[in-house]
Amino acid sequence: MTLTPFLDVVKFNYLTVELIKLSWRDFIRQDNPVAGALLSKMGYTKEEKIEVKKEFLRMLVRLDLDPARNQLLTTFFETYLTLTDEEEYTLQEEVKTFKSR
């Protein structure tokens, strides 16, 4: 009986998705909640951070999900895209204009 010391017991083959190389703008019109959450991991500049979050919030409104799903997506999103207090204030001012449109 011969034992092979380098026997593959489990082997995984998978493709990787490098989110940082994807443009967040290509995904904002999708009706896919996962795409919305992953916007925070996609490629954007520092100057675009507020705009990315604003579009994420628009997507949440458009998707009209239940509160639990909204909270899950928002928590994931905000884990990877954080705004300073000043950026958050700017975002809040811009969001106020949504209601008047």
pLDDT for residue 96 is more than 70: yes
Q: Which residue has the higher pLDDT, 11 or 77?
A: 77
- CB of 16 closer than 8 Å to CB of 52: no
φ and ψ at 83, to 5 degrees? -110, 145
In the chain the first and final C-alpha atoms are separated, in Å, by 78
Alpha helices in the chain (DSSP H): 33-38, 49-63, 67-80, 85-100
Residue 99 pLDDT greater than 70, yes or no:
no
